[in-house]
Structure 1
């Protein structure tokens, strides 16, 4: 039965290749075409699936191989290639995000008689240590007491927290965290709007596991219902946040001496999360707050006390693309809307992104673009358009920042190898592929650049849709890129 299915698949692929391939004659083309066709026709994981593949010369942009190259497919996180290119083009490599502190009222006898405001302008990299630095600056001004409220101002962007097609099941995941102009990250991976939860087994059987959260804060409530089981027992833990709350429940089992389990959970209301962390920093610096934590806009009569700047966009792209950060992508979309059209919204930001795609030589009218991250199952792009973008950006002055931010194959360092650090470790491909990965349910994608054995660079885009197993799609991608690397 399987052989019969493969024969039918071969027939379908051969028709697809005949109809859809454009091959430019050279001495290696025939061999390359045959090898790639063999992969497409022999992989059972592609039965019933769709494969859009586009291979170009990085030297002249000519397509040397394509399979269904003009077919619109879901790109998953390959959408971030568009977002990063548009952001570099619109905002520039040196663009930074600021966070400002304002005071309303006068300071008398070390007491601020009025409200203190924390105004966010989209920085996705704020850490607890940054709030500590801000509190230190307030302390230097001689303020020891705030006789008023601590206010969070996130009005730089609109108050729509989720992109249009975000699945409800992703709401509590770090990759589906809420988008706000005022937010915080737990670690230097910059998983914006989330909290890190670490679960360590107890010392004895039936003990509750030890739970640690980063950053340490009472903004979230941990309900620990898990237990420690015998050393050879089963590790099965769930970490879930209740909808519209910050109550995180941990259930299941973890064996004695098991490795620490780590989860990242998106918080509810990232604005209040950031302000709460700032209030903790103020308290740690001996500054007391008599009022409450609230949200509201900075009044016109308030005076600026301090301004904090993020790293430049050229450096921010590294955690964004290496680690495929969805919230960074959506924040960049809103930032483009704010800078160009005066409104930090998805509507305005995506309009800017589409304009920039035209400026970068690709055709957005052939695409469906619903967000900046690719988490939407409605996004549609062809592999030929993606490979064309990757060819055109080579001419831009910011290209080196763009290229540097792409994951590098088989390199263990997280901020170098990124999402490719455990892939393509063989000698043909290790350290020779810079590409963006992509995964959503039933979709796997990989697009980027490969340095070949003969010293040439090829551009590729592989979009695999309607897969039953995304992990098998990644193996197919690696096989295709390995063939390219050996050319």
Structure 2
């Protein structure tokens, strides 16, 4: 018996020892896991720098730049029918990452519609390439057959592509709501009417061409109610209805989505750049302000600093934060008091070129181009010779009353280098300025 008892004691001690060892191993394991997680968290807080391929510039590439510089300089020193003091030219070789030519390119001139470049890049980079404008109809209340007894709420961004409420209302009807007894409310991203900056001409953004959701809250309210009537949805106002006490699928004291529509920001940017839409450009400009909390009253504030300017001065290294020579009054370029330099426009385009998504979007979709068809946009018939097809991707700008004309963008030259360029003419005949701009581009694209 004594031997059996001792044997049991030994087995018990061995079992306890094994349990102790297992516990120690488990504790060590979890300590290691915790340490790995901690150091991983620390490293995640540090920005990961993408390794860019080392640029290898050959003597042949440098020779191409020298030839291009000589050709541009020769053109500028030929007799011109323009005052060269009113011309700014900036050319940067994106292939060798070197400035090739600079002529008055730090002078602040009227950029005209090339101002849209700064607006587009700031909006896409801040809000994202897949940012969407959204419109919703929400319901809160009790359904009695096909009647909503409660509240109907329209919530809408300042979407410049929204043309009619009919699709939204039809979606609402498909959810069973054909009549409303209660209250109809509207919440908009902006409640005033889109207008040009006071320094621009009032008729530059005509009211009859202003998008539906940018005509002011009263107009939107009337149009929404009229659209419901036209689609057979009756509304009976009843202030006594308490929707928060309702039950059922639209009850519970909260709003439920019953219809939604959306448009991509990039679908606004494309016609804004290709066809130089002033309305869409200013709509994007103020939408960016609203999304960044700069329109607390949901109305334009002419005196406030706009986010597009903040983006370029503070969020990037493109502009310094104190220079007063550059002016951002609007997003379209309609204000004659806007000021940018040719070098700043090139630096903005360089910033976009360094972002693959932005670069591909601008070159493949968004800029006017000699590719042809709809892509010609505001280029019209300029540089339409087959030799230039698919080599130029640009934004045009014109302000006839001030003799301002501009052209900037990306160009694939005859030496197979990609160039980023900007040309601004001021106080000059617009037709002559365009011919001058075309001469520079043609010379770069053709041997």
Tell me if both proteins adopt one fold, taking TM over 0.5 as the criterion.
yes
Aligned position for 2:190: 157
What are the Cα deviations for residues 299-322 of structure 1, in whole angstroms up to 9, with x where unaligned?
Answer: xx6623335342333343212211
Equivalent of residue 457 in structure 1, options 418, 429, 442: 418
Is the contact between residue 411 and residue 420 of structure 2 (CA under 8 Å) also seen in structure 1?
Answer: yes
Gaps of 5+ in 2: 1-62, 239-252
Aligned position for 1:102: 138
3-state SS in 2 of match to 1:26:
helix
Is the contact between residue 197 and residue 330 of structure 2 (CA under 8 Å) also seen in structure 1?
Answer: yes
C-alpha distance 462-98 of structure 1, shift in aligned 2 (>3 A)? same
Is the contact between residue 383 and residue 462 of structure 1 (CA under 8 Å) also seen in structure 2?
Answer: yes
The TM-score, its normalising length taken from structure 1, stands at 0.66
3-state SS in 2 of match to 1:139:
helix
Stretch moving more, 393-402 or 101-110 = 101-110
2:72 paired with 1:32: yes
What are the Cα deviations for residues 42-80 of structure 1, in whole angstroms up to 9, with x where unaligned?
Answer: 22xx24971111111112442222221111001011111
CA apart distance, 1:171? 5.3
CA apart distance, 1:270? 4.7
In structure 1, what is the Cα distance between the partners aligned to 2:205 and 2:124?
A: 30
Equivalent of residue 135 in structure 1, options 169, 172, 196: 169
Equivalent of residue 80 in structure 2, options 42, 62, 71: 42
Bigger radius of gyration: 2
Aligned position for 2:235: 289
C-alpha distance 55-334 of structure 1, shift in aligned 2 (>3 A)? same
CA apart distance, 1:27? 3.6
Is the contact between residue 148 and residue 177 of structure 2 (CA under 8 Å) also seen in structure 1?
Answer: yes
C-alpha distance 80-25 of structure 1, shift in aligned 2 (>3 A)? closer
Aligned position for 1:112: 148
Is the contact between residue 409 and residue 423 of structure 1 (CA under 8 Å) also seen in structure 2?
Answer: no
Equivalent of residue 262 in structure 2, options 300, 306, 310: 310
Equivalent of residue 124 in structure 1, options 160, 164, 173: 160
Equivalent of residue 376 in structure 2, options 408, 411, 417: 417
Aligned position for 1:146: 180
Is the contact between residue 85 and residue 402 of structure 1 (CA under 8 Å) also seen in structure 2?
Answer: no
3-state SS in 1 of match to 2:386:
coil
Is the contact between residue 434 and residue 450 of structure 1 (CA under 8 Å) also seen in structure 2?
Answer: yes
C-alpha distance 28-408 of structure 1, shift in aligned 2 (>3 A)? same
Aligned position for 1:14: none
In structure 2, what is the Cα distance between the partners aligned to 1:406 and 1:388?
A: 18
Aligned position for 1:473: 433
C-alpha distance 171-318 of structure 1, shift in aligned 2 (>3 A)? closer
1:323-472 aligned within 5 A: 323-341=275-293, 343=295, 345=300, 350-351=306-307, 353-363=309-319, 365=323, 366-399=325-358, 400-414=360-374, 416-440=375-399, 441=401, 442-467=403-428, 469-472=429-432
In structure 2, what is the Cα distance between the partners aligned to 1:352 and 1:30?
A: 36
C-alpha distance 337-413 of structure 1, shift in aligned 2 (>3 A)? same
In structure 2, what is the Cα distance between the partners aligned to 1:349 and 1:88?
A: 19
What are the Cα deviations for residues 206-260 of structure 1, in whole angstroms up to 9, with x where unaligned?
Answer: xxxxxxxxxxxxxxxxxxxxxxxxxxxxxxxxxxxxxxxxxxxxxxxxxxxxxxx
In structure 2, what is the Cα distance between the partners aligned to 1:352 and 1:446?
A: 20
CA apart distance, 1:282? 2.6
3-state SS in 2 of match to 1:354:
helix
In structure 2, what is the Cα distance between the partners aligned to 1:303 and 1:290?
A: 19
In structure 2, what is the Cα distance between the partners aligned to 1:67 and 1:280?
A: 57
Number of residues of Structure 1 aligned to a counterpart in Structure 2: 362
C-alpha distance 26-136 of structure 1, shift in aligned 2 (>3 A)? same
Equivalent of residue 273 in structure 2, options 304, 321, 344: 321
C-alpha distance 385-397 of structure 1, shift in aligned 2 (>3 A)? same
In structure 1, what is the Cα distance between the partners aligned to 2:352 and 2:307?
A: 20
Aligned position for 2:13: none
CA apart distance, 1:124? 1.6
Aligned position for 2:49: none
The TM-score, its normalising length taken from structure 2, stands at 0.71
